[in-house]
Structure 1
Amino acid sequence: MACAGLLNIFTVQSTVITIPAIQESLNIPVSRLQLITSMYSISSGCILLLCGRLADVHGRKRVFLIGAACFTASSIAIPFSPNEVCFYALRALQGFSNAATVPSALGILATLYPPGSRRKWVFVTFSAASSLGSVVGNLVGGFIGAYLSWYWVFWIPAGIAGLVGLLAYSIVPPVAPSQLIQPDESSLGAGKHCEFPRSQPVDWIGGVTITASMVLLLFVLSYVNVLWSRSPPAMLGLLPFLAGGFVMWQRYLENGTFEWTPLIRTSMFVNADFSVSLIVMACFCGSYNSYLVFASIFYQDYLGLDTLQTTLCFIPAGVVGFLGCFALPPILSLCPSSFRVLVVGVACGIVSPLLYALPMIPPGASYWAWGFPAMCLCFSVDVVWPVLGLIVSRSVPDADQALAGGVLQTASLVGRAMGLAVAAAVQVGVLEQQQQNPPTSSSPPLLLGDPQLLHSLRAAQWTNVGLAVLALLLVLGFFHKLGRV
């Protein structure tokens, strides 16, 4: 199940490294390069909630196996794309497949393992696999970019997904829907039940509405800097109507007598732990993802490092995160309050972009003096994600665990897109201002890259610091009484 998270991050990281080769092979113009990566993220994020509910209703194992099979097939087919349009279509199918595997995997794990030390190890292992996917994705992408065809960026995860599907078919308990029963607390974790019966049909109207809303939101956030000069107000105007209609429809289904089960019960958000966890996840992931993006720009566009050198700079982030994951369960068991662990994790997430934002740190200083510590502190995501996942998991009933996993992943994805859009807008605005009004300074000129670019990159990192600080304030304000999770 943890390999679902590994494949997700692996696919993103390895594809980013090989964008130039894909562009040359399919003759993709520079203006559409973003679609190579964003098509996967947009298609995955827009359907997470619907796939989570389908997994809860029709069987988590079934949805996981379908997702793994589609991921394998689409990944094999992508390199055979005859043109750009076909490539994007198969990339979208790959994203849809991931949206099926991740929520159903989280639902299976949360149901098989009751609250306690074993569930902590399970969620930490899932997070560790994602960190490992980041490391392996960077290394494999760099190696393939240097020695092999970009085709292998998709064929390697296809082989992994096929193997994972076969293992899941053999290992996850195969219980027929007609035999599913609601297990009591003592039966959880016994390896007998991983799914729950549902007699009500899926809310397809809500699924279509929220999917359209997510497509619009993620698309606009992904291209805000490009589209704002064209027609984004008209596109954004549709979003409140779609989102408002979805909320009203869900409340009607929850409070009315209609036979459909709501896609997501609005009453779930009355639980403060559940709602605040989603906001913290969005703010923190927005800061973390944007920090990595602008750190990459700093190394490549300002310092002039090549792709492989930049990849090596990022390896400590994944390695330390992977190793640190396995220290988290004992810490959570020994620490009387998970609040302290969560605070430390978010605080480390503040320091990483702060080291790139402080003007007193010379950009030409040794990587080991400040770049390496900043990357090592990226283990913060491997602390924050499992703790928030445990909080969300215990805030919903067992029958909604896959949906809760989808909601958590959606909050993460929306936060990443929104954080990057805001930081990018700040960076572009500061850069344009610097170019129009170059500052006069008596200090000696920098001997590295463009000082105006450096100033704008620091402004973007200050934005990331602000998002992480907001996440910390929410944790301090709402989770100060949090016990062990």
Structure 2
Amino acid sequence: MSTGDHVRERDNVPEQGTDVPRAVPSLAKAIAITAVCTTAMGVNIANTTAVAIALPTIGSDLEIQQDQLQWLTNAYALSSGCLLLMFGRIADVYGRKKTFLGGALWLFAFALGCAFVDDSLTLMVLRGVQGAGGAAIIPAALGILADSFPPSRARSIAFATFSAGAPAGGTLGTIVGGALTQYTSKTWRASFYFLAGLAGLCFLGGLYAIRRDPPSQEKDRRVDWLGSILVTAGLTFILFILAQGEIAQPKQWGTPYIIALLVVGVFLITVFVAWQYYLERKQDDPSAPYSVWTPPPLMRPSLFARARGRYGVQMLIAFSNWCAFLGWQFWSQLFYQEYQGYGPMLAGVRYIPMLITGLMCNLFIAFFVARVSIVWLMSLGTLITSIAALLFAVIDPDATYWAFGFPAAITSVFGADFVFAGGTIFIAKISRPHEQSVSGGLYNTMIQLGTSIGIAVSTVVYDNVQEMSMDRGRSSREAELDAYHAAQWTAFGFGILASLLAVAFLRGVGIVGNKEVKTEEEKDEEQTAVISTGDGAREKV
């Protein structure tokens, strides 16, 4: 086929980003779609929390050293975080239902496989491979919801319900995982049976509830495989270093392979960004000839400039908030089990208020996101989450749970739920139809990076404060408490940063819920805030 034929072939495809109307699902179908996608979110989160609560038991059973236990959760997070962008693009191009079902089936198969493992290395490898399923279902689910519900109250409710899957899945994984680990004969293996069952439920529900994938609305339906390799490899190196740097031997962060892999990771990400800029310019140039070497970019860098740069700011807010939220959760869980000596079940029940508060927060989002400006949702949500870290930064270990632990569990989820629910509605509103899964993948990538970096930075703080306290002559238990306090102060700082970003940069955005409800500033912004599209046209934000 000649170059001219390629150009003519592309010209016959519907205009990029054209929103082909789809029938609004019936009430029963809408509930089923939302329930399946929400369950998928819960399964993805539970795959981390159910395993995390069982780490001491797994370590004892398989004789895993303490400093290597984290890889049972990090391996899943590593692959799921690094592959989100690629699977987001695959979902947008090849079909969100297909990607969702494939991811659910993948999670089912490898969760079942993990239950039969008898050695630590195999379990870590399987956990890493299993994470690919989580990377597939989450961006696909976000795209499915955005495609199924036009901007309306129904979309707000759907996204808020989907977001509720995170605290529900996290709490369910912690409580059920703790109970199964402590009270069943299969101990931690029973948790993997439970996770496999949830994934199988997602697969069967998706077969029934999710509608057939519509045709892609892009001119060029190719996947940027080179970009996928670059970003996946770069993120893998960086996240690996963040998890391993503090325990690497013999010099921790100064260990040669840590430095080398960090340099390689940063280099690959830099090359990826430059490659995406190049592809975007080629795609936006109507005079550029067709070339097999210049597919559409995996991620358009211009995305970050949308809505006057607020798209990018929202990504930074999600990143900082998850540094705070998961930093608090990680160290509070260790505080309960390692410092106060509680078993998995007793530690798990202390997080029950998170489930109740999380559901209430998402209920609030569902019904009031069309009435409350996003700046209030983001700034207050992140500020309230910071309070949880602040309470543990000054916690008295001899005090009752109701003095510090209970209010911290209540306040911790405000930022996670407001930022995730409000943020996904915001980015869905300013993303084009063919970008929904990619945008969802990018948003979750920032969340995953925030999780890894928040834990990594607070771990460095923890280790150094503990060492300094010991050098000052404090007992090992006193030094340990000082270190827990310092790690939570670090999480608090990340939360305050997220709140300041929201206050400074999201003013004027207004309401992002129902399409019909807009502030005067939003109306003015819709007339002035435009971006370049792939064919040189102009698009309102």
TM-score above 0.5, yes or no: yes
Q: Give the superposition deviation at 1:74.
A: 1.2
Counterpart check, 1:169 vs 2:204: no
Distance (Å, rounded) in 1 between the aligned partners of 2:56 and 2:491: 27
Q: Structure 2: which 5+ residue stretches go unaligned? A: 1-36, 283-287, 513-541
Contact 1:57 1:198 in 2 (8 A): no
SS at match of 1:327: helix
Contact 1:5 1:129 in 2 (8 A): yes
SS at match of 2:351: helix
Contact 1:23 1:29 in 2 (8 A): yes
Q: Amino acid of the residue matched to residue 201 of structure 1?
A: R
Say which of 291, 303, 320 aligns to 2:340: 303
Q: Which residue of 2 aligns with 1:370?
A: 404
Say which of 297, 302, 325 aligns to 2:362: 325
Q: Give the superposition deviation at 1:283.
A: 0.4
**Cα gap change, 1:363/1:393 in structure 2, threshold over 3 Å: closer, same or farther?**
same
**Cα gap change, 1:402/1:347 in structure 2, threshold over 3 Å: closer, same or farther?**
same
Counterpart check, 1:431 vs 2:466: yes
Distance (Å, rounded) in 1 between the aligned partners of 2:267 and 2:53: 38
Say which of 219, 238, 258 aligns to 2:240: 219
Counterpart check, 1:203 vs 2:224: yes
Contact 1:213 1:243 in 2 (8 A): yes
SS at match of 1:304: coil
Matches within 5 A, 1:233-252: 233-252=259-278
Q: Amino acid of the residue matched to residue 388 of structure 1?
A: G
My pick for the range that moved more, 220-229 or 296-305, is 296-305
Say which of 491, 506, 511 aligns to 1:484: 511
**Cα gap change, 1:215/1:408 in structure 2, threshold over 3 Å: closer, same or farther?**
same
Distance (Å, rounded) in 1 between the aligned partners of 2:103 and 2:189: 21
Contact 1:135 1:319 in 2 (8 A): no
**Cα gap change, 1:19/1:370 in structure 2, threshold over 3 Å: closer, same or farther?**
closer
Q: Which residue of 2 aligns with 1:186?
A: none
Contact 1:48 1:409 in 2 (8 A): yes
Contact 2:379 2:498 in 1 (8 A): no
Contact 2:182 2:344 in 1 (8 A): no
Q: Amino acid of the residue matched to residue 266 of structure 2?
A: P
Q: Which residue of 2 aligns with 1:191?
A: none
Q: Amino acid of the residue matched to residue 219 of structure 1?
A: F
Q: Amino acid of the residue matched to residue 461 of structure 1?
A: Q
Q: Amino acid of the residue matched to residue 334 of structure 2?
A: I
Distance (Å, rounded) in 1 between the aligned partners of 2:143 and 2:211: 13
Q: Give the superposition deviation at 1:304.
A: 2.7
**Cα gap change, 1:11/1:394 in structure 2, threshold over 3 Å: closer, same or farther?**
same
SS at match of 1:450: helix
My pick for the range that moved more, 126-135 or 316-325, is 316-325
Q: Amino acid of the residue matched to residue 6 of structure 1?
A: G
More helix by share: 1
Q: Amino acid of the residue matched to residue 278 of structure 2?
A: Y
Give a deviation string over 1:83-117, Cα, whole Å, max 9, x none: 33332232122100110011000011011112221
Q: Give the superposition deviation at 1:269.
A: 1.5
Counterpart check, 1:230 vs 2:271: no
Q: Give the superposition deviation at 1:370.
A: 2.5
Counterpart check, 1:13 vs 2:39: no
Counterpart check, 1:265 vs 2:265: no
Counterpart check, 1:286 vs 2:332: no
My pick for the range that moved more, 228-237 or 275-284, is 228-237
Q: Give the superposition deviation at 1:333.
A: 2.6
Give a deviation string over 1:365-412, Cα, whole Å, max 9, x none: 221122211111123111221111111112211110000010011000
Distance (Å, rounded) in 2 between the aligned partners of 1:86 and 1:453: 32
**Cα gap change, 1:304/1:158 in structure 2, threshold over 3 Å: closer, same or farther?**
closer
Q: Amino acid of the residue matched to residue 438 of structure 2?
A: L
Say which of 244, 262, 279 aligns to 1:253: 279
Count of residues paired in the alignment: 457
Q: Give the superposition deviation at 1:483.
A: 0.8
My pick for the range that moved more, 274-283 or 232-241, is 232-241
Q: Amino acid of the residue matched to residue 226 of structure 1?
A: I
Q: Which residue of 2 aligns with 1:183?
A: none
Q: Give the superposition deviation at 1:212.
A: 0.1
Q: Give the superposition deviation at 1:198.
A: 5.6
Q: Give the superposition deviation at 1:463.
A: 1.0
SS at match of 2:247: helix
Q: Give the superposition deviation at 1:341.
A: 2.4
Q: Which residue of 2 aligns with 1:53?
A: 89
Contact 1:58 1:198 in 2 (8 A): no
Distance (Å, rounded) in 1 between the aligned partners of 2:450 and 2:429: 22
Q: Which residue of 2 aligns with 1:120?
A: 156
Q: Give the superposition deviation at 1:207.
A: 0.3
Q: Amino acid of the residue matched to residue 361 of structure 2?
A: G
Contact 2:317 2:501 in 1 (8 A): yes
Alignment RMSD: 1.8
Counterpart check, 1:130 vs 2:156: no
Contact 1:63 1:101 in 2 (8 A): yes
Say which of 429, 435, 451 aligns to 1:394: 429
Distance (Å, rounded) in 2 between the aligned partners of 1:215 and 1:338: 33
Q: Give the superposition deviation at 1:82.
A: 4.7
Contact 1:59 1:196 in 2 (8 A): no
Q: Give the superposition deviation at 1:157.
A: 1.9
**Normalising by the residue count of structure 2, what TM-score does the alignment of the two structures yield?**
0.81
Q: Give the superposition deviation at 1:250.
A: 1.1
Give a deviation string over 1:128-169, Cα, whole Å, max 9, x none: 112111121111111111222122211222122112212211
Contact 1:71 1:93 in 2 (8 A): no
**Normalising by the residue count of structure 1, what TM-score does the alignment of the two structures yield?**
0.90
Q: Amino acid of the residue matched to residue 94 of structure 2?
A: H
My pick for the range that moved more, 128-137 or 210-219, is 128-137
SS at match of 2:342: coil
Q: Give the superposition deviation at 1:297.
A: 2.3
Give a deviation string over 1:401-433, Cα, whole Å, max 9, x none: 000010011000001111111111111111101
Q: Amino acid of the residue matched to residue 316 of structure 1?
A: P
Q: Which residue of 2 aligns with 1:442?
A: none
Give a deviation string over 1:290-315, Cα, whole Å, max 9, x none: 11111122222332323222112122
Distance (Å, rounded) in 1 between the aligned partners of 2:91 and 2:301: 19
Distance (Å, rounded) in 2 between the aligned partners of 1:77 and 1:301: 29
Distance (Å, rounded) in 1 between the aligned partners of 2:384 and 2:266: 35
Distance (Å, rounded) in 1 between the aligned partners of 2:208 and 2:351: 36
